[in-house]
Chains A and B, each alone.
Chain A
Amino acid sequence: MKLIAFIILLNSTIISFAQQPTKTAVASKEAAIVEELSLSAADIELFKEQTKQKVEEFQQHIVTIGSKDQPAEKRNMAEREALKLFYVGAEMQTSVINAAGETTIQSRPMEKYLARLKSLPYTAVVIKFYDLVYISSFTKGPDGRYYSSATVLQEFTGFTGDNVAYKDVTKKEIEIVIDLVEDKFFNEKKWKVFLGNIKATETRGA
């Protein structure tokens, strides 16, 4: 068993070192970004690509957490992994606008939102995301981090037996924070994308 663990560790270390030149190249490029007052088109593309990947990761976790046909262990793991994408203290604010134009707003810590997603009162839940993601430009904040927001569209269907009990399309505005964090392994700083607060607005009810 120890031998297997050692081989896995060795393998992952080799893979990590194999990736090192790329990481170093990216890190030195990123370090230069700190000194700049405005971002170049290449920097923006780099951030945009990282943001896209992070949003995609979040979407995949949401789908897994909501899927009642998945094993509980897998859903719990997706919940834990999804939380790692967020800044501590991130909140989810949901707004539902009824036919009369009245708005109901509810805010929950991200932990509670994700936990609640596992226990919705439907026999089956299908969550799909539209393939469109709008990412705004990145703006430097006073703390040196870069801020943006991404818009995604989620289609939610809750079933009771074979019948659709609830369906909506929700627009989610996700705060994006790009922070320079220390990679202790490589002893260098690198930009990392975090997700922040989310504002969700239901755009279409069934």
Chain B
Amino acid sequence: MNLKPLYFILIIFWLYILATKSINAQVTISTSNTIETPAEYYLNVKQFAEFIDRFNYTTDWKGNVIDQSFAEKYSRKAYIGYLLNADDKRFMNDTAYKTLCDTFISKAVNPDKPFGISLYSNQVTAVAKVNIEYLGKPQVANISFVPEVLPDKSVKWVISSVEANCFTNISDSLLKYFISPNSHETGFINLKRIENVDNPVYYFDSNITANPTILFMTETAAKRLTIKNIEKVSYKVNFPGWKITVNEFVRIGYNSGWLISNLEQSQ
């Protein structure tokens, strides 16, 4: 993908933004304390919701619903192209990746079966890099979230999995807390031991005791784990045969905000 035309068209878009007045999702506030927004902040993809709207070709740079005149000037193919991280070095030296991007965009805009993003249809996973404190030491956990739609059409994010390498101390406890091998002969009377441990997970099978998602849950309940802060969030979006990663690029310029940092083919 040659990026020079991309920047040229971004400038054209900037001129378009200056020329248009009406707004929808993006509103303007005029008070004595407000100043005119620099053009790059209109082009900046400010929220993941805005990324979705632009990918789906539903709203223009200012949040207006895309109309015929906009569509005549700017194709969906070009519009999706601007959602790629233009600073990705692979655009300079990796022909295979450039071809992959072109193929993906062509597939995405294929009129027979265009790609779209729906936040609530099992297509999107958010992954948060979370700084935690576990047993008094700073650690990192990658927590995946997915949206869950309830019967009344309300929505919430739920934790789908946790990746962390800090739960190694549990192996000592597994040697100490267990149900003895002949316990079945006494009708598992010593199951009562589960009431007196700091974490009942010790008595479960190794698929559970080695599962960081469950350990995150139980260690949090045992007050041995605290959340310090969320360092960053990225989104994984699946399409038939494709997977993209969306990250926030905090920088000045027309190509900034929530952009595609990687795309790959999937099974």
Say yes or no: is A72 at the interface (Cβ < 8 Å to chain B).
Answer: no
- Let me know if A142 and B156 touch, CB within 8 A: yes
User: Which residues of chain A (86-106) have a CB below 8 Å from chain B?
Assistant: 93, 97, 103, 105-106
Segment 89-148 of B: residues with Cβ below 8 Å from A = 131
Provided the pairs A105-B231, A142-B156, A151-B47 are in contact, do residues A135 and B25 lie with their beta carbons within 8 angstroms? yes
A129-169 interface bits toward B, Cβ cutoff 8 Å, 1 = contact, 0 = none: 11111111101111110000101010100000000000000
CB < 8 Å neighbour of B33 from A60, A107, A133: A60
Chain B, Cβ-Cβ closest to A126:
B33
A139 and B155: CB pair below 8 A? yes
Cα distance, A118 to B24, chains bound together (Å):
34
CA distance A135 to B27 in the complex (A): 8
Residues on A with C-beta less than 8 A from B28 are 131-133
Q: Please report whether the interface of chain A is mostly helix, strand, loop or mixed according to DSSP.
A: strand
B19 CB–A CB distance under 8 Å = no
Tally A residues with Cβ within 8 Å of B.
42
* Chain B nearest Cβ from A49, distance in angstroms: 9
Question: How far is it, in angstroms, between the C-alpha of A149 and the C-alpha of B233 when the chains are bound?
Answer: 16
Given known A38-B153, A131-B28, contact A137–B49 (CB-CB < 8 A): yes
- Does B30 reach chain A (CB closer than 8 Å)? yes
CB of B34 within 8 Å of the partner chain: yes
Q: Is the CB of A155 within 8 A of B47?
A: no
A76 contacts chain B at the CB level, 8 A cutoff: no
| Segment among B38-46, B173-181, B185-193, B238-246 that sits at the interface with chain A | B38-46
A residues within 8 A CB of B131?
105
Q: Are B63 and A59 in contact (CB under 8 A)?
A: no
Number of B interface residues at 8 Å Cβ cutoff, please give it.
34
A52 at the binding interface (Cβ < 8 Å)? yes
- Minimum CB–CB distance from A14 to chain B (whole Å) comes to 29
Q: CA separation between A153 and B159, bound complex, in Å?
A: 30
- Which residue of chain B has the shortest Cβ distance to A48 in the bound complex? B27
Chain B residue numbers with a CB within 8 Å of A132 are 26-28, 37, 41-42
Q: Cα distance A130–B38 when bound, in Å?
A: 8
Per-position 1/0 for A52-78, Cβ under 8 A of B:
100110011001000000000000000
Question: Are B63's CB and A134's CB within 8 A?
Answer: yes
Contact of B35 among A130, A134, A151 (CB under 8 A): A130
B266: interface (CB < 8 Å):
no
Please tell me if B36 contacts chain A, counting CB pairs below 8 Å: yes
Could you show 25 A-B contacts with beta carbons less than 8 Å apart? A52-B27, A52-B29, A60-B33, A93-B229, A103-B232, A105-B131, A129-B29, A129-B35, A130-B38, A131-B29, A131-B37, A132-B37, A132-B41, A132-B42, A133-B26, A134-B47, A134-B63, A135-B26, A139-B154, A140-B152, A140-B153, A142-B150, A142-B156, A144-B154, A153-B37
Given contact pairs A93-B229, A105-B131, A133-B28, a sample of 9 additional A-B residue pairs in the complex whose CB atoms are under 8 Å apart:
A55-B29, A56-B29, A56-B31, A129-B29, A129-B35, A130-B35, A134-B26, A139-B155, A142-B156
